[in-house]
């Protein structure tokens, strides 16, 4: 079975790189959330986002 490649979609995968590899955007204490400084809860948020993003791309990929 040949799979039509939808590589255009894969550009979305740049988002986690941009979001997490530039600490100058997020290395700050505020705003705090539940006692966590911004940097920490922001990175934890990205863990969920990368999972959701991969899930969505998988669903479109194999639709």
Partner 1 sequence: MVVLGFSASRWHRGDLDLIEEWGLAGRRFGTFVTWFLLGGDLYTAYTFIAVPALVYGAGAFGFFAVPYTIVVFPIMYIVMPRLWRVSKQQNYVTAADFVRGRFDSSLLALAVALTGILATMPYIALQLTGIQAVLTAMGLSGTGLMKDLPLIIAFVILAAYTYTSGLRAPALTAILKDLLIYVTVIVACIAIPMQLGGYGHIFHVAEQTLPTHKGSVMLSPKLFSAFATLALGSAFALLLYPHAVTGSLGAKSGRTIQRNAALLPLYSLALTFIALLGYMAIAAGIHTKDTSLVVPLLFLKTLPTWFAGFAFGAIAIGALVPAAIMAIAAANLFTRNIYREYFAASTGPNREAQVAKIVGMIVILGALFFIVVIPLQYSIYFQTLGGIWILQTVPAIMFGLYTRWFHRWALLIGWLTGMVIGTGMAAAESFKTSIYPLHIGHSVILAYAGIWAIIANIVVTVVLTLIFNAMRVSNGNDSTAAADYITEPDEKAVAQ
The residues of the shown chain that bind partner 1, judged by CB under 8 A, are 1-3, 5, 10, 13, 16-17, 20-24, 27-29, 32, 34-37, 39-40, 43-44, 46-48, 50-51, 53-55, 57-58, 61-62
Rounded CA-CA distance 23/19 in Å is 9
Contacts of 63 (CB under 8 A, 6+ apart): none
* Min dist. Cβ of residue 58 to partner 1 (A): 5
* Min dist. Cβ of residue 19 to partner 1 (A): 8
Cβ-contact 17, 7 below 8 angstroms: no
């Amino acid at each position: 079975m040949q799979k039509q490649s939808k590589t255009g979609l894969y550009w979305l995968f740049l988002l986690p790189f941009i979001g997490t590899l530039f600490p100058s955007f997020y290395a700050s204490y505020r705003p705090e959330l539940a006692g966590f400084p911004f940097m920490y809860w922001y990175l934890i948020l990205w863990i969920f986002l990368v999972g959701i993003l991969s899930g969505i791309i998988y669903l479109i990929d194999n639709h």
